[in-house]
Amino acid sequence: MNSKEWIRIEGLAKHYSPTKKITDISFSIDKPEIFALCGGNGAGKSTLIKMLTGIMKPTAGMVFMDGKKVEPQSKSFKKLFSYMPDEMLFPRQLTGLEVLTFFARLRGISDEKVTEALHQVGLFDVRDMQIKQYSKGMQQRLSLAQALLPDVPLRILDEPTNGLDPLWVYRFKEIIQEEKRQGRTIFFTTHILSLVEELADRAGFMQEGHLQYCDSVESLVQKNGVYTPLEKVFFN
């Protein structure tokens, strides 16, 4: 165990069918850090996140925190993270403010924090608009806002930049860097390798249910002292 190691995933696996499976995933998450999990469509990123968040029971494997075994389904583990799913469906008749207030009340979070989160994701001025009038990117920012509400040490974000315009990809990077400055760990999935290079401390790359690479971004892009873009590292 390295000195920063916080959460350790050991041999996590999910067998959907003999041909569709995620096998033997082992890696650690440090605190604080920005960890990006990338990989192709159907590689197993969302499945891994669902196992880590306790939404899905793994076929095999264990999760450790500070060296002790934890159950991702347990209440005590769930208290440590917030989660942004890859797709979040909101009641279309409600306003952005109503939706976020609902999430906040569930978790005993103040209205001030709701206002702050709406400002963070640029939805404060449209807070009284119904969700049905929100664009895909605005709904994605609302989903991010609900994940920013709780004061927890870990944020797990599944494809958070999907549907965001370039300005909001830029703002997303600022938000995530600020979250890390505040001591949090951000674990997110993405298809955008340039985002990984720019933002992440460490990255994992999944392919067909396997974790093929997992290292610091610096080590991944520096091969024999020469800079190699991540897409060349992963696809050559």
Ligand X SMILES: Nc1ncnc2c1ncn2[C@@H]1O[C@H](COP(=O)(O)OP(=O)(O)OP(=O)(O)O)[C@@H](O)[C@H]1O
The string of DSSP codes covering 119-168 is HHTT-GGGTTSBGGGS-HHHHHHHHHHHHHSS--SEEEESSTTTT--HHH
Pick 47 or 161: Cβ nearer ligand X: 47
CB of 100 to ligand X, least distance (A): 25
CB of 202 to ligand X, least distance (A): 18
Evaluate the omega torsion of the peptide bond into residue 32 and state whether it is cis, within 30 degrees of 0: yes
- Cβ–Cβ < 8 Å for 141, 123: yes
Residues lying near ligand X in the complex (CB under 6 A) are found at: 16, 20, 39, 41-47
Pick 173 or 191: Cβ nearer ligand X: 191
Query: How many Cα atoms occupy the beta-carbon half-sphere of 54 within 13 Å?
Result: 14
CB of 118 to ligand X, least distance (A): 28
Pick 73 or 228: Cβ nearer ligand X: 73
Pick 3 or 41: Cβ nearer ligand X: 41
CB of 50 to ligand X, least distance (A): 7
Report the interhelical angle of 111-120 vs 136-148 (nearest 10°): 140
Nearest 5°: CA angle at 31, between 30 and 33? 75
- Cβ–Cβ < 8 Å for 180, 40: no
Pick 20 or 79: Cβ nearer ligand X: 20
CB of 191 to ligand X, least distance (A): 6
Is 16 strand, coil or helix? Answer: coil
How many other CB atoms are there within 10 angstroms of residue 227's CB atom? 9
Pick 41 or 224: Cβ nearer ligand X: 41
CB of 22 to ligand X, least distance (A): 6
